[in-house]
């Protein structure tokens, strides 16, 4: 247990101590919005999810709109397979609008340990992102990315606590290697026929080796939100994302085009809606 708490503290410390932005992680928008019911935040479980999000890019560069279908199938209570299918529209100042499919991802996840009575679990997984999005139009990273992750969930009274520690690496080279992390809480606010919960998370990504940005750069966000339980197995999540740490530094001699994924992932603030149905 002490080791898990140390991991959580390391995640938080890295997010506040290291400088700006791993451009490839999670596709456009940097790290995806924190969702307590997403593939990385929970033990294996069968569900379908629809996501709509709008991200405002830094320096009034434009915005990225995402429509995403995702889901997870629990082959066994200890193992699941997930998929993510994003569609993106990029409004970038001075350039024509781009619309199309983004980078499709496949996720494998296994439950290592659990104590259901205390809502405690430890899961290990890996997401593989494929270059299905058109890189030239700013819709994809242009390479296969591997993102292994370790997630720990526990109950603190009525509050659920989540922490995820992961890594993203390009299959083609070491360039783009990063450390990804999230730390969040889910708190019951209103009981009744339609329960309401609130959540708050800190999430970010720190680059180790990159062909565009200086090593050690970090992009981090605060992601508050609300969860509305229409039914026990059907809920809506309303979330926001606000940049709180961005010391983006381009390497000397590196030149970025206006449609570079590096620029299109530099989000200042955003909003998202998730609809999740559990089987």
Q: What is the pTM of this model?
A: 0.83
Residue 219's pLDDT band (boundaries 50, 70, 90)? confident
User: CA nearest 244: which of 273, 227, 224, 260?
Assistant: 224
The tokens describing 123, both together, are: 């899961």
pLDDT top residue among 228 and 254: 228
| DSSP code at position 27 | S
pLDDT at 257: 60
Instruction: Please identify which residue in the block is written with the tokens 């980078």.
Output: 103
**pLDDT tens, residue by residue, 66-89:** 999 999 999 999 999 999 999 999
Could you tell me the residue range of the domain that residue 172 belongs to?
2-278
CA–CA distance, 46 with 42 (Å, rounded to integer): 11
The tokens describing 92, both together, are: 């970038």
The answer to whether 154 touches 164, Cβ cutoff 8 Å, is no
Count the domains in the chain: 1
Residues 6+ apart with CB under 8 A from 114: 43, 120, 121, 122
The tokens describing 267, both together, are: 């989000």
Instruction: Please identify which residue in the block is written with the tokens 């590096």.
Output: 262
CA atoms within 13 A on the CB side of 156: 11
Task: Give the containing element (helix H, strand E) for 160.
Answer: strand 159-170
The answer to whether 91 touches 97, Cβ cutoff 8 Å, is yes
* Listed range (27-41, 135-149, 165-179) with the worst mean pLDDT: 27-41
CATH code of residue 50: 2.40.160.40
pLDDT at 206: 85
Average pLDDT in the chain: 83
φ/ψ of 59, rounded to 5, equals: 60, 30
Distance (Å) of CA 38 to CA 45, 92, 95, 266:
10, 29, 33, 22
């Amino acid at each position: 247990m002490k080791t898990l708490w140390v991991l959580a503290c390391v995640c938080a410390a890295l997010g506040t101590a290291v400088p700006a932005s791993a451009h490839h992680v999670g596709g456009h928008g940097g790290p995806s919005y924190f969702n307590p019911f997403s593939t990385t935040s929970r033990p294996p479980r069968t569900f379908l999810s629809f996501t709509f999000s709008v991200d405002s890019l830094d320096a009034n560069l434009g915005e990225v709109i995402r429509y995403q279908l995702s889901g997870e199938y629990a082959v066994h209570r200890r193992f699941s397979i997930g998929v993510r299918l994003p569609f993106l529209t990029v409004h970038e100042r001075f350039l024509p609008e781009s619309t199309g499919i983004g980078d499709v991802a496949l996720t494998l996840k296994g439950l290592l340990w659990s104590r259901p009575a205390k809502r405690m679990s430890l899961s290990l997984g890996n997401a593989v992102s494929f270059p299905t999005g058109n890189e030239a139009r700013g819709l994809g990273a242009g390479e296969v990315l591997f993102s292994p992750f370790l997630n720990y969930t526990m109950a603190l009274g009525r509050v659920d606590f989540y922490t995820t520690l992961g890594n993203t690496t390009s299959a083609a080279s070491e360039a783009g290697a990063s450390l990804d992390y999230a730390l969040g809480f889910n708190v019951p606010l209103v009981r009744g026929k339609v329960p309401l919960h609130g959540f708050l998370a800190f999430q970010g990504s720190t680059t180790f080796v990159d062909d565009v940005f200086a090593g050690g750069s970090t992009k981090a966000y605060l992601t508050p939100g609300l969860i509305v339980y229409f039914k026990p197995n059907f809920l809506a999540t309303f979330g926001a994302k606000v940049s709180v740490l961005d010391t983006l530094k381009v390497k000397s001699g590196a030149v970025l085009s206006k449609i570079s994924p590096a620029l299109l992932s530099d989000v200042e603030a955003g909003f998202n809606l998730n609809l999740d149905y559990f089987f």
